[in-house]
Structure 1
Amino acid sequence: MASMFLCFTLLFINICTADGYECYSSTRCLFNSTELQDIEFIRSYYYNKIEHVRFSSDVGRFVGYTEFGIKEAEYWNKDQAILAQMRAQKETYCQHNTDLWYANVLSKSVKPSARLHSTMAPGCHHPAMLVCSVYDFYPKLIKVSWLRNGQETTSDITSTEEFANGDWLYQVHSHLEYMPRSGEKISCMVEHASLDEPLIINWVPPMPETERLIIVGAIGLILGLILFVAGVIYRRKSGDTSLAHRFGEKQAEDWNKDPAALSLWRPQKEMFFKPDSELCFTNVLPKSVMPLARLHSMTPPGGRHPVLALCRVYDFFPNQSKTRCCSRLL
């Protein structure tokens, strides 16, 4: 398969104009391998976009295509020096450039990536259409075909030309219009020089609406079950407090029946609390702090009295205090 992809052309053009008329020549090398017998050297001469004479290494001489071109070919074919020079171009010019192309360009390849998806058919002849999109491959030549149940099909297929991405890579798209059938297997097969074996992408139809609803319902049921179990676990954990209370009551009842436990706890009043009480009465309770007082007037909020006297007392200990207000009319 690789040989069919390696047919390239080397093209060089020379142009000259005079008084509005244009004449130019082009040099091409056609080849599909580096072997000399697989190379053809072509030199064409044009006048006002019309080729009038050509030299081909396969023919070995000049051939004219117009009245002027025929005369010019006869003149050049009589000159053995010109013929020898043109015949040598196949080896000296084409084979040299062919080797460069094979070493730097033609031997390189980039594997394609493919995507198979569905789209709406533009007409009503078929209800469905599949698109096989192949991206980023090199060289340009590629074959995209369709398989239905393993057999290649050629009907109802349209394909685009290879589009250049502008970075030496190409893309192509192939469309298949088809009538969906239950259990049918449809595949897109890509053959390219960079692949050791064809790349096959199988079409997986989307899930029917009923199955999708069943799956959504199953997921909802599972989530509900998870929430239910979480609620039960939380309820049990929240009930642990009442269980602790019941355990404490049972433990107190058991200890009250044990005279040894009671005899251990009853002396704690005298052994632990009495010394602390004596310390408190000795160092805290007899102490006192003289209060600070401030008397000032303010306007009452209700308006029943013109003046309100306010007595404020600060920073005293203990908290028992008594405040009296005495007044004298002047």
Structure 2
Amino acid sequence: MQLGFSACGNVTATVLELSSHFDTVCTDWTDDYYIRQSRCIYSSPDFSDMVYIDSFYLNQFLFTQFNSTLRKFVGFSEIGMRVAEGWNNSPFLLSERTGWLKTFLLFFYICVISICAYTNWKTIINGKKCFNVMTVLMCSAYEFYPPRIKVSWLRDGKPVTSEVTSTMEMADGDWYYQIHSELEYTPKSGEKVSCMVEHASFNKPMFYDWDPSLLEYERNKVAIGASGLVLGIIITATGLIYFKKKSIGRILVP
């Protein structure tokens, strides 16, 4: 018997940060360490408030920064202000930074907004009782990126480790990944079993609860289907017997 439900978590992330590091020698007697750090910051799930920030550091001190909200470079030191003024007078640099914001938005649409944690439960039931029977639950997360993810089990809010039989992570071949975790245990009446999914696309762990009432619903569907099948067999058998009797009672006239 297979039971299933799916839930899509509220997809929100706070910061995507991409860093580029460059080591340069600016003079003959000292080495200066130059860092450029590009990142996007947002809080809304539709990325409508996304801000692109391009920061430039010299020896760990921020001297110039581009902010897409201001649409210009800002200097934080005497040298930084002169650099920012020169860059702000370059239409190419300003349009390039605006293009980077669009690139980040496209990246997030492909790699983040499509991340939903779908939870499928596969339950094996022996006999008529739901409880006091060995059961296997499977929690699966599909189409997520980046690949780092944690799937764990909770029983009445407490972590479960000993009953987890297997956890498999696989690549889909299209930049996305999937993971499957199985829990083998004996259900108890009134017990709450949950699957907890932690991923960079969530600002907090997502919980997916197993609803034992689904078992009764599925068994009722099976019982109704079986009853209909038996009734159909009885009607068919009765019709065949009646047809044979009528055929035997007929007198063939040449």
Structure number with bigger Rg? 1
TM-score range, shorter chain: 0.3 to 0.5
Higher helix share: 1
> What is the TM-score when the length of structure 2 is the normalising length?
0.46
TM-score w.r.t. length of structure 1: 0.38
Structure with the bigger RCO (C-alpha within 8 Å, sep 6+) is 2
